[in-house]
Amino acid sequence: MSSNENLLYSLIRSKTILNLNSKLLFGLINILVNGLIIRYVNLNIIGIANIRLKLYYTTILFISRESLRYNIPYLNNIGSIYHYINLI
C-alpha cells in the first residue's frame, strides 16, 4: 500500500471512531435527559405536549401528501408519475 492509502485508511478509521463515540455520548445524554424529564415534569404536561406534537406531525403529513395526490391525476407524462409515487 502506498502512503496515500494508509493516510486515507487512518482518516476513515479516526472519523469512524469519532462518529461512534459521539453517537454513544449523545445516546447517553438523551437517556439522562429523558429520565430527568419524566421524573420532574408532571405527566399531564407531558401528555398535552405529546398530543400537540402528534397533531402537528399528522397535519404536516396530510398537507404534504394531499398536494401530491391532488396533482398526480393531472400529469401527462407517465414517467413523472413515478417520481411522485416515490415521494408518497
Q: Could you tell me if 51 and 79 lie in one domain?
A: yes
The residue range of the domain holding 17 is: 1-40
Number of domains in the chain: 2
pLDDT digits (tens, 9 = 90+) for 16-69: 999 999 999 999 999 999 999 889 988 888 888 889 999 999 999 898 888 777
Q: Could you tell me if 8 and 31 lie in one domain?
A: yes
pTM for this structure?
Answer: 0.50
What would the grid cell of residue 88 be?
408518497
65 with 86: CB under 8 angstroms?
no
Q: Could you tell me if 29 and 62 lie in one domain?
A: no
How much is the average pLDDT of 70-87? 65
Q: Could you tell me if 49 and 36 lie in one domain?
A: no
Q: Could you tell me if 68 and 36 lie in one domain?
A: no
87 with 68: CB under 8 angstroms?
yes
Q: Could you tell me if 57 and 34 lie in one domain?
A: no
Measured CA to CA in angstroms, residue 75 lies from 16, 18, 72, 78, 80 at distances of 45, 47, 5, 7, 7
Task: Give the pLDDT score at 88.
Answer: 53
